Structure 1
Amino acid sequence: MPIPPDSPALRAHDALAATPFATRARRRRLAHIAWWAALAGGVALAGAAYRWTEQINIERLRAAGAQRLEVYAASLQNLLDKYDFLPHMLELDRNVLALLEHPEDDKRRLDVNTYLERLSRQAGSRIIYIVDLQGRTLAASNWRQKDSFVGDDIRFRPYLQNALSGRPSGFYGVGTTSGEPGYFYARGVHRDGRMLGVAVVKVNIEEQERGWVQGADKVMLADANGVLFLSSAPAWKYHTLRPLPDSVRAQLEQTRQYHGLALPSLPIRDDAAHLDGTRVVTIGAAGGSEARGSITPPLLVQTRSLAPRQWTFLYLSDLSQARANARAAVLFACVAYGFLLLLFLYVRQRLQAKEQLQAAYNQLELMVAERTSRLERTTQRLMAEAEVRRQAEQQLHRTQNELYQAGKMAVLGQMSASITHELNQPLTALRTMSDNAVLLFERGRMDEARQNLAKISQIVARMGSITGKLKSFARKSNAELGPVSIHTAISNALVLVERRLQLDKVAFTLDISQADVYALCDSNRLEQVLLNLMTNALDALATLERGAPRTLTVGVTETAQSVLIRVADNGPGLTDEAREKLFQPFFTTKPQGEGLGLGLAISEQIVRDFGGSLRSEETTTGASFVIELQAATMEKQDG
């Protein structure tokens, strides 16, 4: 493509040929300034590379430390929770209660000592002992040993004082008799609402240190006063994070929590806090030595509280490698910038070339102008292609919206079929109750008519709940599950079929315990399943010959993990073909027009959403369906 005479490239070529000497000198001075600016930029880049690399490495250490802290905290919490039940078990032992009521009975004391010894060995605890209300140890699992706790006075221990005040508590301390540290569980022992004494369990938690990180990274556990009672670094154990006030030392001396230990403060130096809650510190030798090498490298300190015990985990990560990586990044940046500097000097040398380079420079300008022209044409072509692609994307978007709308209409069609099936039964009940209300008004039985109308209102409200649940089922929404009373669910379902039981002369039997049973599910949807199963059973019983006995049985059994609800009838039963297709949508054994075949399919999906199962049992007569749900308690609901 020929270049026009008035093109920018030709004008630049002519201007360069006419440039005077003073102008070229000014350009050389600007080149010097640019060189120094580039050098200053290299120094700034080296500093930025150091800070950026160091921050990335510290962030990695912080993420790894936070993860390990969670693991350590969970491991320690699991160990402590494992023994929390032991003091409560002692409250159930008759011999323990008898010894607290008759502390001078040596035979009972021997029986309790033997029982505590066996229980401690089975549970893996260190020591279990019983204390009376005066703080005197009556029996202990170490009664055979020389350092037995029997007869010790431990009124000074905070865990005993809290337990005597009705507050079960835990306490870490060093044993005053054995000198062995451990965690103490204390709980009051009651009988008929009256406190008789305190049960105490001592557990050795020192084994946690064996699984902690060894080497450069350290992990420690401090109490509320900052005393390090567990540490992967033995030299730091039973030191404090800060000097203890005299009042705190007096309190520790009174409770003998760290009996016989000096508790010196850890020599922490260069303590620098960060906005994210971490700190960078260096720690001197625990003995106070200032010798070379006795001070640790910079350490990143992360903390994690362990409520409600007011303990704090500290995880210390060595920052030496992070800073070494940062120095390596600075070296790389300097090398890269040195290359750029050499390149800059080369370009500068090229700019200082005179007549021998002038022709080549002008030719380069012409080539640039030609390449620019080609790029303009390429850009226009790409813009045209981009417009075509944009229109294609718009068309694709409209097509996707149409497909989505078609899918929504299909789902709405399925939901309408489900709603028609599920509301047919309550509508029948409403018609029956409405007829009854008219009769009651005509006979002047106003109270019964009001009750009937109240039930109609409840059924209408339940119909609205059913449509909402069917809509939620169609969308596969995850409704929150909770403990549901099985007694209440069965009673609510019976309200809708009670009239039909009377009209069809069906003998109804409910086999359930007097105590309420709770299962993990949703009450409205469970009633929907029960109502469907009962209605199917009544439909099957209606096919029996006139005068034949008709029975409908609902039984509830409960195990530790599950609740089983069995709905059975003495109808004609199920064929093998029907049993295989029971839970398929639109399969029904009813005459055409009397069922859509969706009831069991929906019920099975609802129970599956609860985490349970709905199945058919083989029986000699009639049909039997079993709903299996997860057992629940009211405590879960309250929590």
Structure 2
Amino acid sequence: MSRLLIPRRRLPLTGLLLLLSSAMLWLIMNWAERTELARLQAAGSHRLEIYAGSLRNTVSRYSYLPRVLALNQEVRDLLAHPQDPTLQARANRYLETINQEAGSASLFVLDIDGTAIASSNWREAGSYIGNHYTFRPYYQQARVGRPGRFYGIGTTTGQAGYFLSLPIYQQRALIGIAVVKVSLDALEASWKAGAEQVLVADHQHIVFLATDTRLKMRALQPVPPAVQSVIRDSRQYTATHFPALPVHIDRPVDVNTAVWQLSDANGQTQQFLTQRLPLPEFDWQMLLLTDAASARRASHAALYAGVPTLAAIYFGLFAYLQRRRRIRDNLAAKALLEQANNVLEQKVADRTQDLQQINQALSDEIRVRQHAEAELHATQNELIQAAKLAVLGQMAAGITHELNQPLAAMRTLTDNAQTLLARQQSAAVQSNLNLIANLTDRMGRITSQLRSFARRGGDDARPVSLQASLSAALMLLDQRIRQQQVDIDMILPRDDYWVVFEPIKLEQVLINLLRNALDALQGRADPRIVIRTQVHETQITLMLQDNGPGIESNHLPRLFDPFFSTKRDHDSMGLGLSISLAIAHEFGAELTAGNLPEGGACFSLILQASPQKEATHA
């Protein structure tokens, strides 16, 4: 028994081992807990994006409604004559119908003084008509010409909702405001089916959506008196006092993640992994609270597994030391150590060779992919050039007609000039020569525009004059426009717009869209194409509308697919819109299609505005 006693000289070593064991157990527990938290964080990030996506989809589903109301003629007529009961009744029925079909909470129209003059709930006792909403931020934002966004409690109905507003203009003068109220109650109820807790707080850090109702109208941080005064003035919420969430932050994980201790109604605390996702488009933030009990269990499991493991390690170490006291064969120990070193060095060498082979394989794969991307880009450019030459071929008959007329005139003028020279009428000869020179200039402009369009476009984006590109496209299609007797209505500002694009490719996109509209107008008695623009900060939207039959609803999803064509003739390969979409994406633009409420199709080309100008057409 005396041999098992620890000698005095080994007491400091024993204490050090105990200290190291405690530190090792703590590290193992901490590692296990952090590993589980990392797993929960990865899963929570995906779930948080899903919740945020459902919120964005719910709001974006109704974002088109304010513009629909602003463009409706019945609404505009009522704003022009707000005291006309007949116009008000027609507008109320229109808003009621649109609200029922869209599934929004309510629709209403304000005059410039903030008074509701038409509403979808005009039949109900709590109708908005006659109420004043100048205190609402969505009115104040639209009053200065900006789209309004605001979440709050309805002052008339007492029901919460998200309000979207849009100013209505008549000849650049503000005449009213269209407002849409979207209910988020169904979305909030669907979130409750999940295992996590979801919170949404506004820019004042006040929770207004929550799967746990006791957390609503709570603040993530203290609300200053000035902010409370703003909330009262705008009547955003019925509450005026916003107590802090019953939360103790255990420790932060990163800038948007922390471990919370959340107290329930009985004072019991529960640990949650809290993840925050900013929603800058709403000026909100979304929080996901995931039960972190599994992280604590993982820490305890690591402790229960670590203690026996360390005990076994120390027992083995003790046995080894005891044995080492009896074995004094240093040469054998040295041989074993050298053998272990050789094995380790061999493993390191093998691993290094494997890593070199893997690195070489990755390099080969990168080169193959780069080559494939280069071939794909070259094929795409060849396809774009082929489509451009196909367009030139289709326009050849019209261009030939444009050239034959001045050629015939030049022949007649030349014969006349010879006769006049014989009669020595030099003044008349000079007049004929001037006419021939003018006809030559006209033919030169036609062939120059064709030569410019036929050459290959580059890949470098630069400032391009939008009006110059439109003029060039219209000039190439002038013969067909005059042949179909199409009325071109260009609603463009006096100042030129400059966009970031490649000039030749921009002209090709515009020609494809114009040809598509001309095809849709074949056989119409009053063909008309409207070209107009809209400016939104750093973007310029070019809209091309026609009064043709429009696009069938089952064709819209496939409209930009390669080789898809709605034309009955066999000359169309169905590549024009597909190539136009590819070119637009190449230069950071967007191309969309839809139908107008009054009939006809509308194509919208959203371009990046250029802050500077330079000459782009020779």
Q: TM-score range by the shorter chain?
A: 0.5 to 0.7
State the partner residue of 1:348. Answer: 321
Q: Is the contact between residue 120 and residue 128 of structure 1 (CA under 8 Å) also seen in structure 2? A: yes
Residues 369/624 of structure 1: CA separation in 2 closer, same or farther (3 Å cut):
closer
**How many Å apart are 1:311 and its aligned residue?**
0.7
**How many Å apart are 1:90 and its aligned residue?**
1.7
State the partner residue of 2:606. Answer: 636
State the partner residue of 1:330. Answer: 303
What is the aligned-residue RMSD (CA, Å)?
A: 5.4
State the partner residue of 1:161. Answer: 140
Of 36-45 and 154-163, deviating more is 36-45
For residues 8 and 438 of structure 2, the distance between their equivalents in structure 1, rounded to whole angstroms, comes to 108
Which structure's relative contact order is higher, taking Cα pairs within 8 Å and 6+ residues apart? 1
Counterpart residue type for residue 298 of structure 1? Q
State the partner residue of 1:43. Answer: 22
Counterpart residue type for residue 255 of structure 1? S
State the partner residue of 1:109. Answer: 88
Q: Deviations over 1:572-623 (max 9, x none)?
A: xxxxxxxxxxxxxxxxxxxxxxxxxxxxxxxxxxxxxx974599x9999xx8
Q: Is the contact between residue 563 and residue 628 of structure 1 (CA under 8 Å) also seen in structure 2? A: no
State the partner residue of 1:91. Answer: 70
- Partner SS for 2:131: coil
Which structure: larger Rg? 1
State the partner residue of 1:152. Answer: 131
- Partner SS for 1:220: strand
- Partner SS for 2:314: helix
2:116 to 124, 137, 143: 137
**How many Å apart are 1:33 and its aligned residue?**
5.9
Q: Is the contact between residue 282 and residue 295 of structure 1 (CA under 8 Å) also seen in structure 2? A: no
- Partner SS for 2:577: strand
Residues 121/379 of structure 1: CA separation in 2 closer, same or farther (3 Å cut):
closer
Q: Is the contact between residue 209 and residue 231 of structure 1 (CA under 8 Å) also seen in structure 2? A: yes
Q: Is the contact between residue 41 and residue 275 of structure 2 (CA under 8 Å) also seen in structure 1? A: yes
For residues 619 and 185 of structure 1, the distance between their equivalents in structure 2, rounded to whole angstroms, comes to 45
Counterpart residue type for residue 299 of structure 1? F
**How many Å apart are 1:251 and its aligned residue?**
1.3
Unaligned stretches of 5+ residues in structure 2: 1-5, 390-432, 491-500, 522-559, 581-590, 592-602, 610-618
Counterpart residue type for residue 132 of structure 1? D
For residues 28 and 365 of structure 1, the distance between their equivalents in structure 2, rounded to whole angstroms, comes to 28
- Partner SS for 1:558: helix
Residues 37/456 of structure 1: CA separation in 2 closer, same or farther (3 Å cut):
farther
Counterpart residue type for residue 218 of structure 1? Q
Counterpart residue type for residue 301 of structure 2? A
Q: Deviations over 1:501-541 (max 9, x none)?
A: xxxxxx99997877699xxx987689999xxxxxxxxxxxx
Q: Is the contact between residue 31 and residue 348 of structure 1 (CA under 8 Å) also seen in structure 2? A: no
For residues 572 and 42 of structure 2, the distance between their equivalents in structure 1, rounded to whole angstroms, comes to 56
1:307 to 277, 280, 286: 280
Of 145-154 and 270-279, deviating more is 270-279
State the partner residue of 2:257. Answer: 278
Q: Deviations over 1:171-218 (max 9, x none)?
A: 111111211111111222222222222221111012121232657631
State the partner residue of 2:597. Answer: none
For residues 165 and 450 of structure 1, the distance between their equivalents in structure 2, rounded to whole angstroms, comes to 50
State the partner residue of 2:48. Answer: 69
**How many Å apart are 1:322 and its aligned residue?**
0.8
- Partner SS for 1:147: coil
**How many Å apart are 1:338 and its aligned residue?**
0.7
Residues 120/219 of structure 1: CA separation in 2 closer, same or farther (3 Å cut):
same
State the partner residue of 1:265. Answer: 244
Paired residues for 1:12-31 under 5 Å: none
- Partner SS for 2:208: strand
TM normalised by structure 1 equals 0.58
State the partner residue of 1:201. Answer: 180
1:175 to 154, 169, 172: 154
Residues 129/489 of structure 1: CA separation in 2 closer, same or farther (3 Å cut):
closer
- Partner SS for 2:322: helix
For residues 618 and 182 of structure 1, the distance between their equivalents in structure 2, rounded to whole angstroms, comes to 48
Counterpart residue type for residue 222 of structure 1? A
State the partner residue of 2:516. Answer: 558
Counterpart residue type for residue 305 of structure 1? P
Paired residues for 1:82-481 under 5 Å: 82-212=61-191, 217-260=196-239, 262-270=241-249, 272-285=251-264, 291=266, 294-353=267-326, 362=329, 365=331, 369=335
Q: Is the contact between residue 199 and residue 286 of structure 2 (CA under 8 Å) also seen in structure 1? A: yes
Q: Is the contact between residue 217 and residue 239 of structure 2 (CA under 8 Å) also seen in structure 1? A: no
**How many Å apart are 1:81 and its aligned residue?**
1.4
Residues 43/155 of structure 1: CA separation in 2 closer, same or farther (3 Å cut):
same
For residues 453 and 112 of structure 1, the distance between their equivalents in structure 2, rounded to whole angstroms, comes to 56
For residues 636 and 148 of structure 1, the distance between their equivalents in structure 2, rounded to whole angstroms, comes to 39
For residues 309 and 379 of structure 1, the distance between their equivalents in structure 2, rounded to whole angstroms, comes to 58
- Partner SS for 1:125: coil
- Partner SS for 2:237: coil
Q: Is the contact between residue 128 and residue 200 of structure 1 (CA under 8 Å) also seen in structure 2? A: yes
- Partner SS for 1:557: helix
- Partner SS for 1:91: helix
Q: Deviations over 1:217-267 (max 9, x none)?
A: 311000011111100111101212123221111111111110256433323
**How many Å apart are 1:132 and its aligned residue?**
2.0
Q: Is the contact between residue 110 and residue 178 of structure 2 (CA under 8 Å) also seen in structure 1? A: yes
Q: Is the contact between residue 241 and residue 265 of structure 1 (CA under 8 Å) also seen in structure 2? A: yes
Counterpart residue type for residue 335 of structure 1? P
For residues 513 and 245 of structure 2, the distance between their equivalents in structure 1, rounded to whole angstroms, comes to 68
Residues 457/337 of structure 1: CA separation in 2 closer, same or farther (3 Å cut):
farther
State the partner residue of 1:578. Answer: none
Counterpart residue type for residue 104 of structure 2? S
Q: Is the contact between residue 270 and residue 282 of structure 1 (CA under 8 Å) also seen in structure 2? A: yes
Paired residues for 1:523-534 under 5 Å: none
- Partner SS for 1:201: strand
**How many Å apart are 1:370 and its aligned residue?**
9.2
Counterpart residue type for residue 332 of structure 1? A
- How many residues align? The count is 463
For residues 139 and 63 of structure 2, the distance between their equivalents in structure 1, rounded to whole angstroms, comes to 16
Residues 175/213 of structure 1: CA separation in 2 closer, same or farther (3 Å cut):
closer
- Partner SS for 2:94: helix
Q: Deviations over 1:448-468 (max 9, x none)?
A: 9999999999999999x85x9
State the partner residue of 2:546. Answer: none
- Partner SS for 1:142: coil
- Partner SS for 1:280: strand
| Identical amino acids, percent of aligned pairs | 27
Q: Is the contact between residue 249 and residue 258 of structure 2 (CA under 8 Å) also seen in structure 1? A: no
Counterpart residue type for residue 96 of structure 2? E
Is 1:52 the counterpart of 2:31? The answer is yes
Q: Is the contact between residue 228 and residue 240 of structure 2 (CA under 8 Å) also seen in structure 1? A: no
- Partner SS for 1:629: helix
Residues 374/77 of structure 1: CA separation in 2 closer, same or farther (3 Å cut):
closer
Unaligned stretches of 5+ residues in structure 1: 1-26, 426-442, 473-477, 495-506, 530-553, 565-609
Residues 256/300 of structure 1: CA separation in 2 closer, same or farther (3 Å cut):
same
Residues 113/528 of structure 1: CA separation in 2 closer, same or farther (3 Å cut):
closer
**How many Å apart are 1:165 and its aligned residue?**
2.2
